[in-house]
Structure 1
Amino acid sequence: MPLPYRVTRSFLAGLMLAALALPAQGQESEPPPPAVLTDEAVSAVMARAVDEVIRPGYRDLHASASDLADAVSAYCRAPSAATGTAARAAFNDTVAKWSFIEIVREGPALRQNRFERILFYPDRKSTGLKQVQALLAKADEEDTDATTLAGKSVAVQGMGALEYVLYGNGAKALDKAANSFRCRYGAAVAANLQTIAGALSAEWEQPDGVQRAWKHPGPGNPVFRDGKEAITALLGVLVHGAETVRDQRIESFYKGEDAPARPKSAIYWRSGNTWRSIESNLEGLKALFTKSGMEGLLDPSQGSIAGSIVFVLNSLQHIVPTIDPDIEKAVSVPAERRKLDFLVINARDLVLRLNNDYGGAIGLGAGFSFSDGD
């Protein structure tokens, strides 16, 4: 007699988890000699990374942030259920667009504290929440001006601050009166996000700026002196991005059934965007790895390394949308916790496959490690 569907499904999920939890390939046997990197091959990979992932990612972020600024302003002028829904939908879209490209924590994103100004997280001491609550209580008109706001604490001018405005305690009052202080402050935050996103996109679009430095490693390049430095940096983006998913996005609130869960430490928990953000992080990681053609730098005999990386990414992407968006339920319901365990185990495995297997295969050396600050 065949097993019931739910048992069969659970059994297959267990097999899948066990398979993915195996040690990364580089740990199982002595790897073949690394591929010989050429500056020409690396330049082609870097060019695709810039032209097919990074530049489009920042363009999409800027477009989404512009729509968000318009939607929040419209909500302030004419508050209603419809304009409120539109503003929150625009916020959700900007979460997704930012989460896709936030993995590229390099270059222009690090200048002028842009990364932290867009996203102040993790906020382990609730500094941002306290500052936003204090700002709303004070109701100083200068905080409704985007230009002035840009010079204030990073904790009050980004995605976390706007999430609290739209979804935090007191957000329902936004529907009751036009041009309330809270809404106009939110509009200033949205306008500030639009400005930052526009600056990021503009810098990556300059042909003689950061994109040239990434595309053409060489002796005269102020960023990458050769192809090895360039591909090391690109791999570093992937490794650190995968670590962020593991450490800051999942283990920030869930470290396994033996550790206390902290659902209100999850990113975007108020707006229900935790999994939307993580799914977009993973989408960005996969796009950067596949669209740049990093597999092509491997010796043909080592192609399975790239296949395993994509397999783990696909598996993570498959499970994330199935998890309950209510983080309280996700950490308390046994079936949901099993999904979280799957994420934790395989996010760790992804880091190993990128850092150890791929890094070793392209000749970074057995002792090399991006992980955990090494």
Structure 2
Amino acid sequence: MRLLTRLALLSTMLLPLPALAQESSLTVGVLDTAKVPSVMARAVDDFIRPGYRRFEEEADTMEESMVELCGSPSSESLMNAQSTFGDVVEAWSRIEIVRVGPVLEGNRFERILFFPDRKGTGLKQVQAALAKPDPSVTSVDTLKEKSVAMQGLGALEFVLFGTGSESLQSAEGAYRCQYGTAIAANLKRLGSELTEAWDAPDGVAAAWKTPGPDNPIFRDEAEAAKELLGVLVHAAETIRDQRIEQFYKGDAKKALPRQAIYWRSGNTFRSITANIEGLRDLLATSGMVELLAEDNRSVVSSTDFVARSLSRVSGDIKPDVAAVVEDPAQIAKLDFLLLNSRDLTLRLNNDLGGGIGLAAGFSFSDGD
């Protein structure tokens, strides 16, 4: 009966998407190199730079919330800090799809988000730091030199939501709170570095906007277009492989809810939804549709339709992952995400890639 219920619910959700399983009739296009610089410029100025600025701003608010919590510990100030954490997660999740450029330098990405932690190494380091007071984790100047797993969102989530977090409501949690404040300050520091890197007039932003033989990153327009499309493809792959399949691969009995990102704070699906919305935003604001011939441009709208449907379903899943994998109606939504996140990847990789002049079947994940 549970299986029949799931199948019925999944079928209902699939009704608005009759075209998803159809084969593409796309004609492989030729890249319009003249339009690439403007597309890259919009990606930088209308998505990447604002995205990092928003993350920096939310991290700044997070630090303020932690300072308030430490100064006036109470259930109310703890709830405020926990709520602010969700805002930081959402801001990061929208821009984390850009896994290229300055965020990869100095392990910035892992310092902000160390995930997945397959062996639980990071968790053990955070728990050890909380078990025995260590002044070096209460200052951003010394915390930033420690393991990447101890200084980012995962560590802050455990501070605010993990075992013993109730101590933050009183003076008993002073040390724990100071550690959390240092993490928030470190996130703000990293956000500031990323903002500065992308705002520098002669830095990475200029390289993205002006591909050419003297460019240190993109020797021509094709390389630039490939990088931007690769960001989208990798984002779609990550949503499926590292966000959904990390804890659910289609069999509820084998689900591992505690392997889901942000499961302690209930931000798993808020983060996934923000990932999808970030992908949609980058695709739209960059104007990649302009790189397609007129008769191929429906590829973008159909791809966005799939992404929008994924976002709608993800945003409608309950926060408690453990409860989700016990509920047939919620499991049907997970099945929907699994099925259509794969379709999203194929549409970006094959249809959009082929439409802008890369042969259909081009594999960005293989680095071809």
- TM-score interval, smaller chain: over 0.9
Q: What one-letter code is carried by the residue in structure 2 that aligns with 1:22? A: A
Q: Determine if contact 2:99/2:231 at 8 Å carries over to the other structure.
A: yes
1:207 match: 201
**Cα separation, 2, equivalents of 1:20 and 1:270:** 37
Q: Structure 1 residue 329: deviation in Å?
A: 1.4
Instruction: Flag structure 1 segments of 5+ consecutive residues without an equivalent.
Output: 1-6
**Hey, what does 1:147 align to over in structure 2?**
141
* Greater than 3 Å deviation, 4+ residue runs: 7-12, 371-374
Q: Residues 42-94 of structure 1, C-alpha deviation per residue, up to 9 Å, x if partnerless?
A: 00000000000000000100100001011111101110122112211211100
Map of 1:168 onto structure 2: 162
**What is residue 76 of structure 1 aligned with on the other side?**
70
Residue of structure 2 in register with 1:16 after alignment:
16
Tell me how far apart the structure 1 counterparts of residues 52 and 304 of structure 2 sit (CA, whole Å): 23
Report the RMSD for the aligned CA atoms in angstroms: 1.8
Give the counterpart letter for 1:228 in structure 2: A
What is the aligned counterpart of 2:53 among 38, 45, 59?
59
CA distance in 2: counterparts of 1:327 and 1:194, whole angstroms: 29
Aligned to 1:35: 30
Residue 261 and residue 196 in structure 1: after superposition, are their counterparts in 2 closer, same or farther (change >3 A)?
Answer: same
Contact 2:261 2:268 in 1 (8 A): yes
Contact (CA 8 Å) 2:212, 2:219: kept in 1 or not? yes
Q: Which residue does the alignment assign to 2:324?
A: 330
Structure 1 residue aligned with 2:280, among 263, 282, 286?
A: 286
For residues 113 and 362 of structure 1, the distance between their equivalents in structure 2, rounded to whole angstroms, comes to 32
Taking structure 1 as reference, are residues 163 and 20 closer, same or farther at Cα in structure 2, changes over 3 Å only?
farther
Residues 150-170 of structure 1: CA deviation (Å, up to 9, x unaligned):
000001000000000000000
Deviations 1:300-322 (A, max 9, x none): 10112111111001101111111
- In structure 2, relative to structure 1, the CA distance for the partners of 1:300 and 1:130 (3 Å cut) is same
1:46, 1:267 → 2: CA distance? 31
> Is the 1:20–1:312 Cα contact (8 Å) retained in structure 2?
no
Aligned to 1:227: 221
Report the CA distance shift for 1:272/1:367 in structure 2 as closer, same or farther (over 3 A): closer
For residue 229 of structure 1, report the CA deviation from its aligned partner.
0.3
2-structure distance, mates of 1:70, 1:258: 40
What is the percentage of aligned positions where both structures have the same residue?
A: 53
CA distance in 1, matches of 2:276, 2:67: 31
Question: 2:278, 2:339 → 1: CA distance?
Answer: 20
Distance 1:127 1:212 in 2: 39
Residue 359 (str. 1) matches residue 353 (str. 2):
yes
The Cα shift of 1:179 comes to 6.4
Q: Deviations over 1:89-118 (max 9, x none)?
A: 211100000000000011110011100000
* Within-5 A mapping of 1:258-273: 260-273=254-267
- Take 2:95 and 2:12, find their aligned partners in 1: how far apart are those partners? 33
Amino acid at match of 1:115: F
Mean Cα deviation higher: 364-373 or 164-173: 364-373
Contact map agreement 1:131 1:155 (CA 8 A) in 2: yes
Q: Equivalent residue of 1:356, what SS? A: helix
Local SS of the residue matching 2:318 = coil
Counterpart position of 1:99: 93
Provide TM-score, normalisation by structure 2. Answer: 0.95
What do the CA deviations read for 1:181-203 (whole angstroms, capped 9, x no partner)? 11101111111111011100111
Distance, in Å, in 1 between the alignment partners of 2:28 and 2:286 is 23
SS state of the match for residue 72, structure 1? helix
**Contact residue 355 and residue 371 of structure 1 kept, 8 A:** no
How far residue 142 of structure 1 moved from its aligned partner, in angstroms, is 1.5
Contact 1:24 1:349 (8 Å CA) reproduced = no
> Which runs of 5 or more structure 2 residues have no equivalent in the other structure?
1-6
Q: How many residues align?
A: 362
Q: Which residue of 1 aligns with 2:3?
A: none
**Matched position secondary structure for 2:330:** helix
Match of 1:132 in 2: 126
Counterpart for residue 3 of structure 1: none
Report the secondary structure of 1:16's partner residue.
Answer: coil
User: Is 1:195 matched up with 2:194?
Assistant: no
Alignment correspondent of 1:114: 108
Q: Report how far residue 366 of structure 1 moved.
A: 3.6
AA aligned to 1:169 is: T
Cα separation, 2, equivalents of 1:195 and 1:80: 27
Question: How far apart are 1:373 and its partner, in Å?
Answer: 6.0
* 8 Å CA contact 1:20, 1:349 repeated in 2: no
